[in-house]
Structure 1
């Protein structure tokens, strides 16, 4: 068990080091030597977990999917909102998740896996919106695929703007503002007043 825990810690250390190096130099200019220098691990340990820089990048993209934890709750539209707010909060504090997003939005030589961060996000939100439609939470005629694509696209743009202006410090506020504008075209009128567009009280 202790060996497994050391292995998990080593893997996380490599991903965090790669996130730092990719943020500083970009994917193309980064090397496994640069990543290794930030970890304090041996080359054998690095290659035990990841045979190449591309394999590290693939694992970083997978971290995006791991961060899409769908909140439980009876109102599925609230779950969609909370998913975006929690993802925004994690982007502010998790360097691995930030690297995952950067690999998705930047044009590099990295050959992205078949399911990119965009597809992961779309899949999670489409599922929630279909459940919301089954519970009569959506306005008649709402196209779930179109709504999900708009939500993911707006979130992507807002997080890029937030990064440029405040280093993502105001990302939660920007996401809350988006929902206040977007909900009238999505949710049934009687539901809007019950939906919270700020993080839940801790």
Structure 2
């Protein structure tokens, strides 16, 4: 088990180091030598986990969809708030998560045609489609909305503001741009009663993560209290 844990940590270290190099240099200019130096691992260790630079880059790209989104608090947050939170949390994490930044750089850059960058676009579109469809079933979405079409629009527009923000000021204003995007799009998606309650302001990403952490702590405390209760009580 210790050996397996060590292998998992090594793989993660390589991924994170590669993400930093890819973010700084792009796919074509990045070298295995730079990644090895950043990760402080041997070439054998790297090739044990990844057969090539392309396979390593694809793993970094895939990591973008591996990040868990915090669950909405039962009975409070709507599916449309969940939709907005996906983008706001993403913007917040881009400022603090090197692996996510490297993944996004690889996904959006124009470089080697050998690298399949379509995975995150398909993944985010499918996720948005599902949330929109669930919201429509709950009566949160306007009747004319086609979930798949709206999902493609939001994901494509978000990629655009992400690219623009990166080019202008290294994503320092991405949350503001995301807010503007949602303020323009959501009135055409959500019913008025839901729209009026949506939190789309800059900083929502950090607030949503803080809410999720409080929810996680409450659940852990409730579970611990249940386990500590004497047998037969309740």
Name 1:18's counterpart in structure 2.
Answer: 18
Gapped regions of structure 1 (runs ≥ 5): none
RMSD: 1.9
Alpha-carbon shift at residue 47 of structure 1 (Å): 0.9
Name 1:171's counterpart in structure 2.
Answer: 174
Name 1:48's counterpart in structure 2.
Answer: 48
SS at match of 2:34: helix
State the alpha-carbon separation in 1 of the partners of residues 107 and 122 from structure 2: 11
State the alpha-carbon separation in 1 of the partners of residues 110 and 198 from structure 2: 37
Name 1:152's counterpart in structure 2.
Answer: 155
Superposed CA deviations along residues 16-46 of structure 1, whole A, max 9, x for unmatched, are: 2212222232211222122112221111111
The answer on whether the counterparts of 1:27 and 1:110 sit within 8 Å (CA) in structure 2 is: no
State the alpha-carbon separation in 1 of the partners of residues 91 and 200 from structure 2: 13
Alpha-carbon shift at residue 98 of structure 1 (Å): 1.2
State the alpha-carbon separation in 2 of the partners of residues 157 and 195 from structure 1: 23
The answer on whether the counterparts of 1:67 and 1:87 sit within 8 Å (CA) in structure 2 is: no
Name 2:32's counterpart in structure 1.
Answer: 32
SS at match of 2:65: helix
When residues 143 and 70 of structure 1 are mapped into structure 2, their CA distance, relative to the original with a 3 A threshold, is: farther
When residues 114 and 100 of structure 1 are mapped into structure 2, their CA distance, relative to the original with a 3 A threshold, is: closer
Answer with 1 or 2: which has the greater Rg. 2
Superposed CA deviations along residues 133-176 of structure 1, whole A, max 9, x for unmatched, are: 10111111111111101110111111112212222122112111
State the alpha-carbon separation in 1 of the partners of residues 84 and 176 from structure 2: 13
State the alpha-carbon separation in 2 of the partners of residues 144 and 70 from structure 1: 22
Number of matched pairs:
202
Which of 71-80 and 185-194 deviates more? Answer: 71-80
Name 2:185's counterpart in structure 1.
Answer: 182
The answer on whether the counterparts of 1:64 and 1:101 sit within 8 Å (CA) in structure 2 is: yes
> How does the TM-score come out when normalised to structure 2?
0.80
Which of 16-25 and 132-141 deviates more? Answer: 16-25
State the alpha-carbon separation in 1 of the partners of residues 9 and 37 from structure 2: 16
SS at match of 1:93: coil
